[in-house]
Amino acid sequence: MQVYLPIAGMSVDAVLLVGIGFLVGWLSGLFGVGGGFLLTPALILIGIPAPVAVASGANQTLGASVSGLMAQWRRGNVDPKMGGVLTAGGFVGSLAGVQLFALLRRVGQVDLAVSIFYVVVLGTVGGLMVMESVRAILRRRGAVRRRLHEHFWMHGLPLKMRFRKSRLYISVIPPALAGFAIGVLSAIMGVGGGFMLVPVMIYLLGMPTAVVIGTSLFQVVFVTANVTLLQAVQVGSVDIVLTLLLLLGGVIGAQFGARMGTKLRGEETRALLGALVLSVALSLLWGLVRRPDSLFAIGPAL
């Protein structure tokens, strides 16, 4: 069934979009991440223009994360204060990111920039995840428990604030900076950034794992909402028909994925997720390196 996407200005098979949404939703439910990092490349692959894929990907991630955030909030697993600091950084970051995006679009390098961002970020994160979880699997018994209060340079920074839910008394600079960086990535890659934020929260900020997922969802929801708004106003590339079709498949897939996810062990899940992230990065890298089918491309003059 063909459906006309009003903003993309093209006709796409609705079943294909719902299917992509389902698959990405299933994987994100399985691994407990937003799945934006799989969605945007998949959309570009089927011929959706990169600006529309990025903006609608952020919009979809927002929808996919809302129900998770509500569930976590009910269980009291959200640190609103920490979430607020991350979100404040994320707002500034996404504002900067959208400006950068609009600039890249004017000079005609959006596709390249999106691909490079994906290759670098996903390659790094995927590589680290695989290494870390393989190491964990190898010495599952003899693991050294990290001390709760390990002091390093970060703890000498000014502007300290008490985060009661996270049981932390730290400077707001690191979380605000992390929020900023992920805001930039969110605007350019159309992702929520949960898969990058979670390790930062655990290893850098030292937050208790119980509140990590809920608080990262808090940041993801607000930052993707901001990206959606900014992209809609500045670039005009949010396609609501595309978003809703993806969400239709996504919310169903996420439920199936989440059920299956409970049967997998932590380390195995993370190794699998790492391998998935890494393979997306490699396939995008291949797209940059191989000789393109057509050396010329047309785009709108801005």
Partner 1 sequence: MALSPLKRRATALAGLPCARSSPRRAFTLSGLSARLGQPHTAIALLLALLLAAPAQAQDQPLVAALSTQEVRISTAFTGEAIMVFGSTDQPIGPGGDEILVVARGPTRPLVVRRKIKALLFWINGPSARFNQVPGFYAIAGTRPAWQLLPEAARQENGLGLDALPLTSTGSRSPAFRAALLELEKSSGLWLEDAAPVEIRGGRLFNIAVPLPATVPTGDYRVEVLLVRSRQIAARAEMSFRVERVGTADRIADVAEDHAFFYGLVCIMLAALAGWLGSVLFRRD
Q: Which residues bind partner 1 (CB under 8 A)?
A: 2-4, 6-7, 9-11, 59-60, 62-68, 70-71, 108-109, 111-112, 116, 221, 225, 228-233, 236, 238, 240-241, 243-244, 247-248, 250-252, 254-256, 259, 288-292, 294-301
Give the whole-angstrom CA distance, residue 100 versus residue 227.
13
Least CB distance to partner 1 at residue 106 (A): 10
Least CB distance to partner 1 at residue 231 (A): 8
Closest CB to partner 1 among residues 148, 301: 301
Residues 6+ apart with CB under 8 A from 34: 28, 61, 64, 65, 191, 192, 193, 194, 195, 220
Closest CB to partner 1 among residues 124, 171: 124
Closest CB to partner 1 among residues 123, 208: 123
Element (H, E) at 77: none
Give the whole-angstrom CA distance, residue 93 versus residue 59.
17
Give the whole-angstrom CA distance, residue 299 versus residue 161.
48
Least CB distance to partner 1 at residue 116 (A): 8
Instruction: Identify the CA nearest to 247 among candidates 5, 20, 4, 2.
Output: 20
Least CB distance to partner 1 at residue 296 (A): 3
Closest CB to partner 1 among residues 209, 255: 255
Closest CB to partner 1 among residues 140, 259: 259
Buried b (16+ CB within 10 A) or exposed e, 77-112: bbbebbbbbbbbbbbbbbbebbeebbebbeeeebbe
Least CB distance to partner 1 at residue 148 (A): 32
What is the sign of the dihedral through the CA atoms of 268, 273, 276 and 278?
A: negative
Closest CB to partner 1 among residues 109, 279: 109
CA distances from 86 to 121, 204, 225, 266 (A): 19, 13, 14, 26
Gyration radius of the chain over CA positions = 19
Closest CB to partner 1 among residues 159, 301: 301
| Side chain identity at residue 207, one-letter code | M
Least CB distance to partner 1 at residue 255 (A): 5
Closest CB to partner 1 among residues 123, 174: 123
Least CB distance to partner 1 at residue 164 (A): 28
Least CB distance to partner 1 at residue 240 (A): 5
Residue 76: Cβ within 10 Å count: 11
193: left (phi over 0), alpha (psi -120 to 50) or beta: left
CA distances from 18 to 1, 26, 178 (A): 11, 12, 33
